[in-house]
Amino acid sequence: MRVNFVFSEVAAGLRRNLTMTVAMILTTGISLGLMGTGLLIAHMISDMREIYYDKVQVSIFLKDDVTDQQRDAIAAQLDSSPEVKDYIYESKDEAFKRFTQQFKEQPALIANTPADALPESFRIELVNPERYEVIAQQFPAGQNGVDDVRDEGDFLDRLFSLLNGARNATIAVAVVQALAALLLISNTIQLAAFNRRNETNIMRLVGASRWYTQLPFILEAALAGLIGAALAVGGLVLTKVLFVDKTLAGPIKAGIIPPVDWSAIAAISPVIAAVGVGLAAVAAAVTLRLYVRL
């Protein structure tokens, strides 16, 4: 296969339909960018699960007037419970310390919070995280110094369902956008094939293989897909630098939200590129097969 021939055909084709090519690249880029965002959110969700789920599953908050005796009794009961894998005790002081750590970006909030406002608690890791009910029954709220038993997993589930929803919405928009991109690719390829019908007709008549005839068109679409993928990755990098790293700096430092690592972007970039190139090439091949006689 004469490489020069193929590449000059590809370049000429892209130049000839410049407006269509730009539209094709932009829609492909937006679609891939949204897909990348969805993947990053998914990545973030799994990071957050690691941060939160592993630490705490059930918290027993104690009343302000809990006695030492009651506290020791609870600790003893946790020690002997087969359901409990591990637990830590957090005093009022420690709770406040953690609070100031978490919200050090918001000094006003800390200033307005009395040091003893936060309850002391037992933070429990269960053998089986689903068995929250058992703990809730063993330590009825309002008795023996127990103020409340809270299933942290429940809260996390709600948080994660929100994040999952965000991820799904992003991916749904990406899919719709991808559909638009595919139709544009198909259109551009039809146009390109029409523009070069003299050449392709002759190629067909002198017995050039289908592959040889179609390759320039498929490469043209694949190249557009690759440029679109590059735009998408560039968009993600900009989003990280200008939005995530700046606006979300506080919660990230506090450990509430995991940071978006360069490695995560590096990891999904090849995926974006492969999807962009693959979809564009397949769309072009199918278009040639269905609409164009080559």
- 158 versus 210: smaller Cβ distance to another protein: 210
- 1 versus 111: smaller Cβ distance to another protein: 1
- 1 versus 290: smaller Cβ distance to another protein: 1
- 16 versus 158: smaller Cβ distance to another protein: 16
- 5 versus 262: smaller Cβ distance to another protein: 5
As given in the structure block, the two tokens for residue 17 are: 């339909």
Q: How far is the CB of 8 from another protein (least distance, A)?
A: 11
Q: How far apart are CA 100 and CA 106, in angstroms?
A: 9
Report whether 79 contacts 191 (CB < 8 A).
no
Report whether 173 contacts 34 (CB < 8 A).
yes
- 108 versus 206: smaller Cβ distance to another protein: 206
Q: How far is the CB of 199 from another protein (least distance, A)?
A: 6
Q: How far is the CB of 205 from another protein (least distance, A)?
A: 5
Q: How far is the CB of 291 from another protein (least distance, A)?
A: 16
Q: How far is the CB of 20 from another protein (least distance, A)?
A: 21
- 63 versus 204: smaller Cβ distance to another protein: 204
Residues that bind another protein (CB under 8 A): 1-2, 5, 198-199, 201-210, 212-213
What is the per-residue DSSP string for the chain? --HHHHHHHHHHHHHHTHHHHHHHHHHHHHHHHHHHHHHHHHHHHHHHHHHHHTT-SEEEEEPTT--HHHHHHHHHHHHH-TTEEEEEEE-HHHHHHHHHHHTTT-HHHHHTS-TT-SPPEEEEEESSTTTHHHHHHHS-TTSTTEEEEEEHHHHHHHHHHHHHHHHHHHHHHHHHHHHHHHHHHHHHHHHHHHHTHHHHHHHHHHT--HHHHHHHHHHHHHHHHHHHHHHHHHHHHHHIIIIIHHHTHHHHHTTSS----HHHHHHHHHHHHHHHHHHHHHHHHHHHHHH---
Q: How far is the CB of 3 from another protein (least distance, A)?
A: 12
Q: How far is the CB of 282 from another protein (least distance, A)?
A: 19
